[in-house]
Structure 1
Amino acid sequence: MRWVIGIDGGGTKTSGALADASGRITARAVGESTNPYLNPPEVVEANFRAIAYELMSRSGVGAETIDGVCLGLSGCDRPGDRAPLEAMVKRVFPQARAVATNDALVALVGGCGELNGVMVISGTGSIAYGFTPDGRSARAGGYGQWLGDEGSGFTIAHRGLIAVMRAADGREPPTAIRERVLSHLSIAEPMGLMPWMREHGPDKAAVAALAPLVIAAAEQGDPAALDILRWAAKELALAAIAVARRLWPDGEKFPVVVGGSNLRRVPFLYDRFKAEMASQNPAATVMQPRAEPADGACFYLLQLRD
């Protein structure tokens, strides 16, 4: 029997799936980040190899039976992005077909079963990416933390840190984000965030890792944290609507699948996003994904073979 491997490579972790030729998922595994923009090439390859061999071990299959590998990675949009990643796959599985593409594409296929709709991801970063059956695509956002990524874990955390500093100045009311962040980082006073940011600010994942603290404050009703999540939901909806205008200009109905830990696991953010979409584009049907992005990478590869 021949097998395919699907990879969903995010900014902080990698999820993998192994499927047989019928699309039946037989194993899943989670490993370290394979994002090529946050890790050196040798680390990406080592982490990919580790998760691939873990998947094969769990299903009892050999490397020679791997027929194809699909990598869904954030920021992987151009031929120059794809070529070195596909070459990496070939070094591990010389006989396999190698496909590297954007993580939004495989997430959409996993989410609704076909390449038709808009995928909105809010994880470490964020992006809205739409695809149609006739091969058209459009994107909004996903330009990294300094040029975009609105509504992402990074921007939620960053705005939370700004809220702490504004409250410390007296420009805004006190916020529960302060104690959560300072305690988590073992910092005594808000001014201590300045040297922390000088050291860790360039590390997108390190800043984004603070987003759960802002989310926890919002879940307890903190006004500043709730405002941040409202802003994030609005920005994510704006990105999805911008994509929809280009792909479905005549108001045709289309699905919007959510992805990333923030939209999938934070009810307040998901509900606000869904409400924003309903008020601005009633043609959209917002949904949680039916299957995982790594599963979608397997399905996409099998569809290409067919």
Structure 2
Amino acid sequence: MLLLGIDGGQTSTKSCLYDHENGICLFASGPPIDHMLTFNGQVKTKQAIQQSLQALLVQAKLIRKVDMAFASISGVHKEHEELIKSWIAECVQVDACMIEGDVKANLSGASNGKNDGVLIIAGGGSIGYYFEGRREFVAGGYGHILGDEGSAYWIGLQSIKAGIRDSESRGPKTVLGKQILDHFGEESFWGIKKRIHADKIQRSHMAQLSLLVERAAADGDEVAQDILQRAGEELGGLAVSVLQQAKAYDSTLRLDHVYMTGGVVHSERVVASLKDTVHRYNAAVRISKPQYPPVVGALILSAQALQVRMDMSIVNLALQGDEI
């Protein structure tokens, strides 16, 4: 039984092959995908998926057919599923293939397939998610214009706004303003504004400012500390919303965890604030780290689709030698 998992994200594309009979699990990486709504985005996504698969198949040598594949693709739309399946088929023959967005594989990996808690993704964007098996419960996920509260992008945006308010004496003093101008090599926030509207400061650049905010907070800047605290409150609010939705649907559901994934969760201040927010709702819920990365979650979902039990010791051994 050969199972294939694919995780296409905005940072990189991971793939994983599980061979139960021979006790083998292999991992490979490729470049990031892009949004599928543009032609260039589709070209970039195809290249990312196929480069990752080709790197995987080099390790697998003669394997050219798998029983089940589960591809977790960030921002995927229903109309693109057959296209993605065709890209996979150009690299390897697949008897059955499922294409989904990134939340299911994230939750599956984080919970080791148990789905016993709410997933919070807090990277460039943010979303809260739980899948009961028949119904999905979602909070957030509306993108950087309408939402993404608590995300790295949101933190970066708040830091720029705080710098502007300080520069105009409309807000508290903060080191963030000067640090942001120095970071982008600008003399004033008018230059920042011009570059944002000209798409010369992109979402990824904005998200990178979250690292600057984290350093300023560690150095004692109260504005930076407040931004990180509010980020945690926003993410905690997403978790509470999903918990409430699930409880209203089925009061017998046992959701004991909030699984945190994404780059923002490395901030101790954000995590502490999120924890406080969740525990004000239910002190028994544990804030937990993911047990496995999303690509393993995709692998677990492929196994569940065929009702196959995976030997996770094989996966654990393979993970020890890979930086996934």
TM-score w.r.t. length of structure 2? 0.84
Matches of residues 232-243 of structure 1 in structure 2 within 5 Å? 232-243=231-242
Matches of residues 170-209 of structure 1 in structure 2 within 5 Å? 170-200=169-199, 203-209=202-208
Aligned to 1:300: 301
Letter in 2 for 1:119: L
Cα deviation, residue 18, structure 1: 3.0
Matches of residues 145-294 of structure 1 in structure 2 within 5 Å? 145-200=144-199, 203-249=202-248, 250=251, 252-254=253-255, 255-263=257-265, 265-294=266-295
Letter in 2 for 1:271: A
Cα deviation, residue 23, structure 1: 11
Letter in 2 for 1:256: V
Distance 1:127 1:269 in 2: 15
Would you say the 8 A contact 2:150–2:230 is kept in 1? Answer: yes
**Deviations 1:173-200 (CA, angstroms, capped at 9, x unpaired):** 2322223322222223333211221123
Q: Is the deviation greater in 2-11 or in 165-174? A: 2-11
Distance 1:65 1:262 in 2: 38
TM-score w.r.t. length of structure 1? 0.88
Letter in 2 for 1:257: Y
SS in 2 for 1:289: coil
SS in 2 for 1:95: strand
**Deviations 1:162-221 (CA, angstroms, capped at 9, x unpaired):** 111111111112322223322222223333211221123783223223222222222222
Indicate the RMSD between aligned Cα atoms, in angstroms: 2.4
- Percent sequence identity is 26
Letter in 1 for 2:122: S
Q: Give the count of matched residue pairs.
A: 301
Would you say the 8 A contact 1:8–1:294 is kept in 2? Answer: yes
Distance 1:180 1:202 in 2: 16
Distance 1:82 1:230, change over 3 A: farther
Aligned to 1:56: 57
Aligned to 2:72: 72
Q: Which runs of 4+ in 1 moved over 6 A?
A: 22-25
Unaligned runs of 5+ in 2: 308-324
Q: Is the deviation greater in 28-37 or in 228-237? A: 28-37
Cα deviation, residue 63, structure 1: 5.1
Would you say the 8 A contact 1:253–1:285 is kept in 2? Answer: no
